[in-house]
Amino acid sequence: MKKVGLILMIVLFISINNTYAQQPEFQGDLMELFKGPSVSSGNEHWLSIMNKWRVAEKKTLNYHDSLYLRQGMLWTRKPFIYAQMMVEDRYFFDPIQQKYTVDRYLSDVKKRYGGLDAVLIWPTYPNIGIDNRNQFDLLADMPGGLAGVRKMVQDFKKRGVRVFFPIMIWDKGTRDVGMPMALAIVNEMKSIGADGLNGDTMFGVTLDFLKAADTLDYPIALQPEVAINDLKMVEWNQMSWGYYWNYEYVPGVSVYKWLEPKHQVEVTNRWIIDKTNDLQYAFFNGIGYNAWENIWGIWNKIPDRYAEAIRRIASIYRQFPTLWSSAEWQPYIPTIQSGIFASVFPGIGQKIYTLVNRDSTDKKGKQIELPYKKDLIYYDVWNGKELIPQKEKDHIYLEFPIEGFGFGAILAIESRLISSNFKNFINKMHVL
C-alpha cells in the first residue's frame, strides 16, 4: 500500500507540474504581458501553449467579440498614434483671440512625428480640487462652454482624429450631479460628440459605462488607464494603455492583444526620454503608442530620433490598417541573427513582418527564412525598397539591414495587389 501511495503521489506531482508548464508565464506585476519563449522551450512549443491558453481562457470567460464588430466601433482598431494632451497647451488654444487652434496643434505634431489618430483631452486636474467644481463643471467652463467644446471636437474629427475625455472615477467630494456617474459622463460625451473615455486610475472601465452607452444609444470606446484586472472586461474595453510595463531583452506579448487581436493597446510611458523599449514593444505587438509630451504642463518633447521612428511606424501602420488586428497574427517568427525578434500579421494576399533589434549593434545580412511561394514579391518597407529573395530548395532568405536598437518591416505581397498607392508609399518610405 505504501508503494501504491508513493506512486500516486509521484503521478500527481508530475501531473501538477505538467499542467503548470503548459501555462504561459506572465511578465510584470500587472500581468499585462506574456514572457516570450525561452531558448530551451523553443518557439513552436511556446506558441502551442499560447494558443491553448487563448482557447481555454475564452471558453472559461464565455467570451464574445460582438462589441468589436459593431459598425460604430470598428474604428477602435485604428488609433495607432494617440496623445494625451492638456487643455492649457499653447498650441491648442489662442488666449488673445479666445479660440481653439486645433489645426495648429495637429500640424505641429504631424510635422514633428507624423501626426495623430486620436487625442485624450484633459480638462480636469491639476485644477480640480481648488474649489467645488467637479469634472463636469471643468469641462463646461472651457472657453465657449459645451457648444465651444463640441465645435472643437468636430475640428479634430474633420482632420480624422478621434477624441477621448477622461473619467474621474474618484471625483466624489466636489458636487453631486444627481445621477449615476456613468450615465452623466456618457450623456455629456454624447452632447459634445466625443468618441471615447479613458478611465483614470481604473483597472478596467466598469460595465455600468457600457450599459449607460446602450441606454443612451451612443456607442463609445472604453479605455482604462492602468490595466484590466478581469479579462472578461476585454469584451467591452476595446482599448487600453500599455502602462507600467516591465521591459526585458526578450520582448513580451500583450495579454489583451493576444486574447483579442481586435483590441487596441496604446503603449504609455509618460516620463521616459529613451523611447526604444516603448516603440519596439509596440511594433513587435502591432499595437499603438501614446505620444504624451505635455505632462501636466511639464514639457517632455519626443527627441528627433524617436520622432522619426514614430513617423515610420505610423506610416506602415496606416498603409496596412487591417493587418494589425489579424486573428492569425503570430509573435516570435524564427529569425536568423541573435537579438532580432519578429512577428507576422497576415492578410488576404499579403503578410507583414515587424522586426526589432534588441542589441546595440547593427545587424546586416540574412535576417529571415521563409517558405518559398510562387508569385510573391518582397519589400523592405522600413527602408522603402524591393528585396530579391535568395531561393534554396523550398525556402527563401531575405537580406536587409537593421540598425542597433532599430526596427525592420518586411512585406510579402501578391503582385496583383501592387497599386499606384502602394508604389507611392514605398517611395515615401525610401525618402524617409
* Each residue's pLDDT tens digit, 381-399: 999 999 999 999 999 999 9
The set of long-range contacts for 107-115, using a CB threshold of 8 Å and a minimum separation of 24, is 109/83, 109/291, 112/302, 112/307, 113/81, 113/291, 113/302, 113/306, 113/307, 113/308, 113/310, 113/311, 113/314, 114/81, 114/310, 114/311, 114/312, 114/314, 114/315, 115/81, 115/314
| pLDDT band for position 13 (cuts 50, 70, 90) | very low
Q: How far is 208 from 346, CA to CA, in rounded Å?
A: 36
> CA 376: distance to chain centroid?
29
* Each residue's pLDDT tens digit, 349-374: 999 999 999 999 999 999 999 999 99
147 or 42: whose pLDDT is higher? 147
| pLDDT band for position 174 (cuts 50, 70, 90) | confident
pLDDT at 38: 84
pLDDT at 77: 97
* Each residue's pLDDT tens digit, 289-341: 999 999 998 999 999 999 999 999 999 999 999 999 999 999 999 999 999 99
Residue percentage of the chain with pLDDT more than 70: 95
CB 121 within 8 A of CB 83: no
| pLDDT for residue 4 is more than 50 | no
Give me the chain's average pLDDT, please.
94
pLDDT at 11: 40
Q: Which of 6-20, 121-135, 247-261 has the highest mean pLDDT?
A: 247-261
| pLDDT for residue 68 is more than 70 | yes
Please list, residue by residue across 6-21, b when 16 or more beta carbons sit within 10 angstroms of its beta carbon and e when fewer do.
Answer: eeeeeeeeeeeeeeee
pLDDT at 95: 93
AA letter at 17: N
| pLDDT for residue 6 is more than 50 | no
Q: How far is 283 from 407, CA to CA, in rounded Å?
A: 8
| pLDDT for residue 175 is more than 90 | no
pLDDT at 21: 52
Between 49-53, 122-126, 265-269, the lowest mean confidence (pLDDT) is in 122-126
pTM of the model: 0.93
Number of H helices, E strands in the chain: 11, 24
pLDDT at 401: 97
Query: Which residues lie closer than 8 Å to 158 by C-beta, 6 or more apart?
Result: none
pLDDT at 42: 83
Grid coordinates standing for 309?
521612428
| pLDDT for residue 202 is more than 50 | yes
pLDDT at 234: 98
- The pair phi, psi for residue 125, each rounded to 5°, is -75, 150
Residue percentage of the chain with pLDDT more than 90: 89
pLDDT at 315: 98
* Each residue's pLDDT tens digit, 95-141: 999 999 999 999 999 999 999 999 999 999 888 988 889 999 999 99
Q: How far is 234 from 256, CA to CA, in rounded Å?
A: 7
| pLDDT for residue 9 is more than 50 | no
pLDDT at 176: 85
| pLDDT for residue 186 is more than 90 | yes
Mean pLDDT score, 224-243:
97
Mean pLDDT score, 9-14:
41
| pLDDT for residue 16 is more than 70 | no
pLDDT at 40: 61
